[in-house]
Each structure stands twice: as C-alpha cells, then as structure tokens.
Structure 1
Amino acid sequence: MKKGYIKSALGALAICMVTTTGCKNFLDINDNPNAPENAQVSLILPSAQAGISFVLGGTFQIYGNIWSQYWTQNFGASQYRSIDQYQPGAADYDWPWNNLYSNSLEDLEMILKEGRSDKNKQYAAIALLMKAYNYQMLTDAFGDVPLKEATKGDDNLNPKYDTQKEVYDSIFKYIDEAQAMIDPASAYLPGADDLIFGGDMEQWDRFANTLKLRAYLRLLDVDKAKAEAGIKAVVAKHNFLERDAEVKYSGTGDNQNPVYSEIVQLQFTSNLLASATCVDTMNALQDPRVSVFYQPLAATGKVTPIVQGGFALITSGSYSTPSFVVGARYSNNKSAMAPVKFISAAESYFLQAEASARGYGGGSASGLYGQGISASFSSYDIAEGSYVADRVAAFPAAAEGRIRDIITQKYFAMCGNQGFEAWTEYRRTGYPSFLIKSKASIYNDDSKPQRFLYPSSEVTNNGNFPGSKLLTDKVWWDTK
C-alpha cells in the first residue's frame, strides 16, 4: 500500500478542483499547511472531501453506472470496453485505492490528531463521518481492507487486512463518536471550508443518522440481530437528510465534475451511451426523468439507447448519451458543473421507506416511498405530473413487493448520479430484477461483477496481502 503524507501538491490540486473561489482562499504560498507542524484543519478538510468526491464521482461512478446498466460503452470508442466486458485489470484500481488511503484518509487522520480541542472539535466530527463514509466505500467495493494498521505512514508499509465485519463495526463506532461531538451551537463552526454543508452541523447530524441507516440495512442478511437493533434505534431518532449531501462544482478551471474531467482528458471522446436496460424500463413506466438523465436525439426528441455491452454488435447509427446533469455529456460544458452526491435526499427517504416496509417503524412506507421519488424529481426540477401519485397508488401490500418497488425506484433516482450505490444495492437486494448480462461479457454463464479487484499495488507491495479475489467473488454481506 502506498503510504506517507504526500500532501503539498496533491492536496492543493484536490482543493483547486472543487472550490469555486480557486486556491487562494485556502493556500498561502509562503506556508505549507500540510506539514504536520503547521497543520490547519480548515485547509485539510476541503482537501479530504475533494479527494473522496473525486474518487466517488469518478472511478466509482463510471464503474457503478456501467455495472448498474445506466450507461454502456459507445461502439465508436474504446475507453470502457473492459468494464462492459467484465474484464478490468488489477492496475485499474491503483488510483482510487491509493487516493482514498494515502490522500483522503491521511488528511482525515491529520484533522483528528489536531481536532480534539473545542476550537477544532466540529472539524473532527466531520472528519470521523468522512472516515466512516470512506471506509464504507472501500469495503463495499473491495471486501476485506486494511483499517487498524492503515494510515500509519512509513511506520507500517504492510498493513494487515481487517474483515468486512470488523470494518463495519468501526464504521458504526466512528459515526457514534462523531455524533457525540457534534454541537451546532459551537462558537467554532466550519464555513466554506466544509464543501458539503458549509459547517451546518445539524445537517451533519442528519448525515450521520442516514449513513448509519444505510449501513445497518446493508447487514440485514448477515447479522440480522445487530442490524435490526441498529435500524430501530436510528429510526426512533427520526432525524434524516432532507437535502442532498453533495460537493458542487463551478465548471471553471480545474473545478469540474470528475466524469467530465475525464472526458476532457480523453479529448471529448463520446465513450458512453444510454443503456437500454434502464431506458426501456423508464420508458415503459412513462418516467419523465429519462429525458433529463439522458440526451434525447435532436431528430426524434426521444432517448434512443443500445443494449448493454452492444458495442460489438452495432457499427453505425445515432444513439443517446448520458446528459449534462450527470456530468457525462461530452459536448456540453454544463457537464462540468454536475455535483457529486454522497447521499441524496431521495436515497434518505428510500432508506426510511425500506426500514418501515420491513416493520422497523419510522412512519408510512408508502408515504416515504413517494417522498423518495418526489425528492429525485425535485433535485432536477422535473415536473412530477401523475407519476409519483401513480407509483404510490400501485405500491404493493406485501412486504417483499414493497422492498422490490422501493429499491427499483431508488435505482431510477440514482441514474447517472449515484452509480456505485445503485450497483451496491443491486448486489445486496437483487433488485432491480431486470438487469441482464452484458452482451460483451467474457463469461459463459450469467455471472456479473460482485466486487472490485484488489489493486496491483497491493498485490506487489504489501507483504500482508491476503490473496487476490475474482470479480465474481461476493463480498461478506452479499447473499443474493
């Protein structure tokens, strides 16, 4: 594992990528704010948040959106063919792994070392929540990962791996520690240096509860007693996100959405097309979001997709791309301003709806289900028409049917904007039930990707690396 506190250049780059006012408000060229002796939490926090956002909204977003079958490889290009073929290489994961560990987590640890005083306590609370979020990303993607011996710099270049159960236990611990520190009335609140909520600690408390609910629901099939107790406790607080937790981009300079930033680096090549898996189902439901998440063709005014993995089957024709609102329209520079959503308001309502549908309290499952759909429409200023009312009216009476509809509508809401989470929820629940095997798959059976591969940097450099996994090996909580 790459270790060490490599901050002055990378930290500055991450901050520049996401702050609308550029670097000058955060960095003084006569100072090195990342050196341990001069560490300033107000400068390190945006670097950490930017680093996580760039991985979540970049590599994780692209893999998640392709494996969730929102997007598929364009037949006229080649950048993501290996993803659509279910044939990525271990080296493909070096950058996100190293960025989350050697940059983002190192930043967060620096804040926690500096931030236990009253002056820095709210920064420390945010850092703990970001640490919990970061580790959930890592463990949901890779399975067992280093935690107890990670982020110790040159003191340990061969950290041992912790089981996914142990990582989840730590996630809950970090959230609890953070909530015990949160004080919205503190005299020392972050401001614009908190890229997600601008120092609004009430929102961070809601974020904590929503993240905790997400995590407990993830464990229902592997540790039911713990999950049920945790869900009931957090639902009883009834304090969840009602707005998107996101990093916004201005589109100026290097401050661009991560997917669009990659499009720019690829010389504005149109690598991504709309997948028929998602589009055809949305069209069948007359879902108006389809023409917002995707670019309709000028000639017809309709969204026209190709079959998932169909790049080898098609040689010509006009097909729709993802739109600028999800950062993936190659020819529209508004893509640069698409936000990266850590947890959306829609996801928050769907999590609550699922908890209610499973009998854990927290309000009306049908009402929360409808609020989840409405929040998705509202996030993109889309008129609902009768869509939400029709879905609520058709909400099943049976529990399993309710879970199916909740996760399926969550899937539509996450189209293009929370691809990794949608793919993760598919692995957990088996919904939506209409995903197909990519036409480009290398597998002879119906196998689909179940995890990321461990990066080649771990295989070659970590003496305690426990051994490689196959793409089809399930992570601990995946029982479907």
Structure 2
Amino acid sequence: MNKLAKLLFAAALTTMASSCESFLDVNTNPNQVTSATPDQLLGNALTVTGAVYTNYNAFSNFQIYWTKSNAVSGFNEERSYNYSSTYQQGLFNGAYDNLNDYNLIQQLGATTHPNHAAIARIMKVYDFLLLVDEYGDIPYTEALKGKANITPKYDKAEDIYKDFIVQLKGALTDINAASAGRAVGAEDVVFSGNMAQWKRFANSLRLRILLRESNVASLNSYVAAEMTALQADATANGGFITSDVLVQPGFAASAGQQNPFYNTYGFAVGSPNTTSTYRFILPTNFLLNLFVNNNDPRVTQEYRPVGAVKDASGNQTVAGTYAGSNLGEGGLSPTTGSTFQAALGGNPAGTFAGTFLRSANQPVVLMLLAEQLFSKSEAETRSLLTGNAKADYLAGIQASFNTTFRNAPAPTAANRLVNGGDIDPVSNFNKYIAANVGNGLVDWDATTTRDTDTYGKIIPGTRTVSTVEKILTQKYLAENTIAGTEAWDDYRRTLLPRIPMSTAPSVPGQRAKRLLYPQSEINTNKANVPLTTTQYDRIFWVQL
C-alpha cells in the first residue's frame, strides 16, 4: 500500500469546521459492502483521527489559549459563548465518521486480524471520549449500526465512561491473547505495529479517563478501585507511554499531504507566506504572562516577539516583546511584513512559531508524554496511585521541553535568541528550574508565588499555591495549542489554572461548559436528542 496515495488526507480535513468526511474515508456509508481488510483500513483511520483531534484542539484552544487578532472580525461564538446548533457541528460528525472506520476494522478483524481489532477497540474509546467530553450524553450502545438503527438512543455520559474502562481492559486482554492472525506492520502509522506500545497507550487513556471522574464525589469509591486495578495492569503490561504518541503517515509539503495544523495555521503548499488563518490568531495575555513572568524559554519557540530585529548576519539584536490579547477582545494585527524573520521560518510576529509550525511533515500529537506524567503526578499527590509525584512532575516539565524544542536546528549564532538562549531542551529546562527557585508555580518544594491580576500581570504581594495547582499550571503550559482539548477538560474539571473567561460573554458571569448537539443530528434523530440542553449545562464530571 502506497502511504502517500492511501493514507494522506485532503487539506479540507484540517479546517476548524471540518467533519473529516473525505474521499479517503472508505466507510462513509456503513451500509455499503466493502472488500477492504483491516490492514488496508487502519492507516487511513489513524490519520483521520489526527485531523479530528486537530479540529477538537482548535475549538478548545479558543477557550483557554487563543483569542483573535484585529486582522479579522468575527469569532463571535468564541468571544461570547453564544453557541448555536450549527456551531462546530463538524466535530460531532467527524468523530462518528472516524468511529465507523474503527468499528469496521474491529468487526472484520475479530478472527483474522486480532491486533488490528484491538487497536480499533482502543481508538474507539479515544474518539468516543472526545464526543462525551464536549456533548455529554451521546449515541453509544446503539451507534455505528448503519441502516440497522438510523435513530440510535442516547446513553448517559457517566455510563459510557464506565464502559470505556471495560473496553480498554478488554483491549489489553485481546492483545495478550493474540497468538495468530496477520501481524500489524507499517499500516500502523502511530506505533509501527509495536503492540507493547499500544498496551501502554491503553493504560494512559485509562488514567486520563479516571482523572476526569476523580472530582465527582459520588464516584470516589469507583475511581479508587479502578486506579488500583490500573496500577496493577500497568505493572503487568509495560506501564504507561514513554514518549509522545504521534500520527505520522508520511506528511509532506505537497497538496493534500501537509500536517493538518500546519496546512491551516501555517503555510499553504509552495507559498512563502502564511495562511490568512495564521494572522487571525493570537495567544492570550494570561498565557504569555505565565511564560514571561516565570522566565520560561519555551515561549521563544512557540511565539514570535513583536519588534524583534536581526542584523545582516542573522544575529538578533533587539529582543522584542510578546504580545497577545484577552479572551473576548482583539489584539494587534500580525502581518507578513514583520521586521523579524525567524530562523525557523519567515513567520509574522506575534503568533505561532517553530514548535507548532516546524515543518509541513511534522507529526500530529494524539497524546503528550508530558500529559501522562503530570496526570500520574496528580494521581500520586492525591493518593490515587502510588509513586514519586515530584519525580513525575519534574519529568513532565522535561518532557514538555523535549517536545517544544523537538527537531529544532542546531544552536548557531543565527538562532540564539537574545531572550531565549539556544534550543537545547536540557539546558533550557535546567535554566527554567534554576530561575524559579522559591516560585510555587514551578518549584515543587515552594508553596507561594508572586500574586497576579486576572490576566496574569504581576501585582504586589504573594499567594499560596497548592501542589495540584502547581501540577496543572505546568500541564497547561505543556499542552498549549498541541493538546488544548486536554487542557480545556482539566480546567473544566478543576478550575485550574486560574484562566480568565471572556470579557464579552453573552450571559454575564457564565462560561460555556459544553457544545450543543449539531443541527445535522437534530434533523435526523430528533426524537432522541436531548433538545433542552444549553451550552451552560454541566457534563457529569465538569466542575465549572
């Protein structure tokens, strides 16, 4: 199978409103008979998941990381939380479309391709989790049946969550029992057929799911028991992930083959200038202040400073400043005519830089190692798991630095930034830790930090920082833009870190907690859709 012909998807998949329904999705119609085999389907399904997750992140990033620039009007829903049934409905449709592929792989591979079927079982949980966390109750037990049931009932979100654990445990059992059938190979564009890695990923998904439920008082006993079971299963099945989980089908700087985020928010194929979408997005002041106030060198790789200047030899002579805006407001208008042309690409000032736009062929992240380590540290801090919470916390920060500086060019005079040093992740991690001794947002043993206003600007005084806030602050920084879905979920679960809401909500004092069911679903399954739901209703684990 030719990867570039079979696995790479069209650029249309990458838009925020995309439903990921492309010509590559052979299972758009679940009633149509297909002669494809699980090994022929898997690569495309995993690749489309990367596009689906990119779209979910784009929505979530506007809740906690992004705001608009003055280069564009609009983004009214993001600014006001005034959602409609047509807003972001592609997220619902795209995930279910992808789930049909995994369901077919699982059905076809039950006896002849048991490991392919197990991978599909894990990835069904991954996709269904995206849906539950944004919509709450969804079609689950009666979903994916094609014409056998075109109006599936909606299952309770809490019940679905419990079945996620059952399915992930079952996937471990399936992998351990698979002694025959076709081996998984290059069609696995995530782990290249390494089933031990798939077991670690299943364990890490279980941890993500159980932490979501861990702040629900009525589930305390259930979560405690399942965490104990998870620890035992992880010990017996290789532990948790040991590196970022990436989708890499062979992205390339060609039409329909670019990394989806890069294609939408970076550079069009063959163009030296950024897309218009690039100039629509700014980081929030709250995020930038967290970076700058704590001398965090990751900001030099993630954003372009305004007013930075390089001389003819490429040495940066003026550091510039990082500029953003507040949720609900507009900020500066980045242009391609910036005086600062970065070593990692001629990107406009004030917005995305190398970490997010390294190249057209960079992989898509499905799960960060940093997320897993911070989650483990939180669970250990709260006595849900046993282990060394401090060690996992520090390893989480280091993992974030490794991701942030991944594949950066070797340090030279041309890319040593005045306000960032070189691009070595270890030295920058050490500088970050050394610069924040006594700062409770970074230093594990410190309990206070400088006080700030709502948007992160330093004000006189200090405040107390809990260990959990420390962990979640660093997790928030690590997941910036790459995994905004997880950061948004953590915020709704814990209200940490102290992210300000939009300055222009349609309902004063209210922040949207979920998405509305899409109009496409209302049109076809109205009798089962919970029509009374609003964007201000809580999903069962949400504390916001």
Which bracket does the TM-score occupy, shorter chain normalised? 0.7 to 0.9
- Other-structure match for 1:470: 534
Equivalent in 103, 122, 126 of residue 119 of structure 2: 126
- Other-structure match for 2:473: 408
Aligned equivalents of 1:371 and 1:315: distance in 2? 37
Q: 1:63 Cα deviation (Å)?
A: 1.4
* Larger displacement relative to structure 2 (125-134 or 239-248): 239-248
- Other-structure match for 1:262: 264
| Structure with the largest fraction of strand | 2
Please say if 1:98 is aligned against 2:93.
Answer: yes
Q: 1:214 Cα deviation (Å)?
A: 1.0
* Larger displacement relative to structure 2 (122-131 or 195-204): 195-204
Q: SS at the partner of 2:467?
A: helix
Aligned equivalents of 2:288 and 2:183: distance in 1? 44
- Other-structure match for 1:308: 326
- Other-structure match for 1:61: 57
Q: Contact conserved, 1:291 with 1:302, CA < 8 A, in 2?
A: no
**How high is the TM-score relative to the length of structure 1?**
0.85
Aligned equivalents of 2:537 and 2:157: distance in 1? 14
Structure 1 segment 40-59 matched on structure 2, within 5 A = 40-58=37-55
Aligned equivalents of 1:209 and 1:225: distance in 2? 20
Give unpaired runs (5+ residues) of structure 1. Answer: 1-10, 19-26, 328-333
- Other-structure match for 2:504: 440
- Other-structure match for 2:135: 142
Q: SS at the partner of 2:88?
A: helix
Q: SS at the partner of 1:384?
A: helix
- Other-structure match for 2:36: 39
Q: SS at the partner of 1:476?
A: coil
Q: SS at the partner of 2:360?
A: helix
- Other-structure match for 1:153: 146
Q: 1:12 Cα deviation (Å)?
A: 7.8
Against the structure 1 CA distance between its residues 14 and 100, is the aligned structure 2 distance closer, same or farther, given a 3 Å change threshold? Answer: farther
Q: 1:186 Cα deviation (Å)?
A: 6.4
Q: 1:38 Cα deviation (Å)?
A: 0.7
Q: SS at the partner of 1:73?
A: strand
Aligned equivalents of 2:84 and 2:259: distance in 1? 25
Against the structure 1 CA distance between its residues 369 and 455, is the aligned structure 2 distance closer, same or farther, given a 3 Å change threshold? Answer: same
- Other-structure match for 2:271: none
Q: Contact conserved, 2:78 with 2:328, CA < 8 A, in 1?
A: no
Against the structure 1 CA distance between its residues 214 and 316, is the aligned structure 2 distance closer, same or farther, given a 3 Å change threshold? Answer: closer
Q: 1:324 Cα deviation (Å)?
A: 4.0
Aligned equivalents of 1:372 and 1:316: distance in 2? 32
Residue identity opposite 1:140 in structure 2: D
Residue identity opposite 1:227 in structure 2: V
Aligned equivalents of 2:538 and 2:185: distance in 1? 41
Q: Contact conserved, 1:290 with 1:303, CA < 8 A, in 2?
A: no
Against the structure 1 CA distance between its residues 61 and 13, is the aligned structure 2 distance closer, same or farther, given a 3 Å change threshold? Answer: farther
Equivalent in 107, 113, 120 of residue 107 of structure 2: 113
Q: 1:259 Cα deviation (Å)?
A: 2.9
Q: Contact conserved, 1:17 with 1:50, CA < 8 A, in 2?
A: no
**How high is the TM-score relative to the length of structure 2?**
0.76
Q: 1:341 Cα deviation (Å)?
A: 1.7
Q: SS at the partner of 2:67?
A: strand
**More RCO (CA 8 Å, sep 6+):** 1
Please say if 1:284 is aligned against 2:293.
Answer: yes
Q: How many residues align?
A: 446
Residue identity opposite 2:142 in structure 1: E
Residue identity opposite 1:419 in structure 2: G
Against the structure 1 CA distance between its residues 395 and 366, is the aligned structure 2 distance closer, same or farther, given a 3 Å change threshold? Answer: farther
Residue identity opposite 1:453 in structure 2: L
Q: SS at the partner of 1:342?
A: strand
Q: Contact conserved, 2:252 with 2:258, CA < 8 A, in 1?
A: yes
Structure 1 segment 79-478 matched on structure 2, within 5 A = 80-101=75-96, 103-117=97-111, 119-183=112-176, 188-222=182-216, 223-236=219-232, 237-238=234-235, 239-248=239-248, 249-263=251-265, 267-269=275-277, 270-297=279-306, 298-299=308-309, 300-309=318-327, 311-312=329-330, 320-327=350-357, 334=358, 336-381=360-405, 382=425, 383-388=428-433, 390=437, 391-396=442-447, 401-433=466-498, 435-445=499-509, 447-462=510-525, 463-478=527-542
Aligned equivalents of 1:149 and 1:337: distance in 2? 38
Highest CA radius of gyration, 1 or 2? 2
Q: C-alpha root-mean-square deviation of aligned residues, in Å?
A: 3.0
Aligned equivalents of 1:181 and 1:478: distance in 2? 32
Give unpaired runs (5+ residues) of structure 2. Answer: 12-23, 269-273, 310-317, 339-348, 406-424, 449-463
Q: SS at the partner of 1:355?
A: helix
* Identity percentage of aligned residues: 30
| Structure with the largest fraction of helix | 1
- Other-structure match for 1:7: none
Aligned equivalents of 2:334 and 2:128: distance in 1? 43
Residue identity opposite 1:154 in structure 2: K
Aligned equivalents of 2:30 and 2:490: distance in 1? 39
Aligned equivalents of 1:313 and 1:340: distance in 2? 28
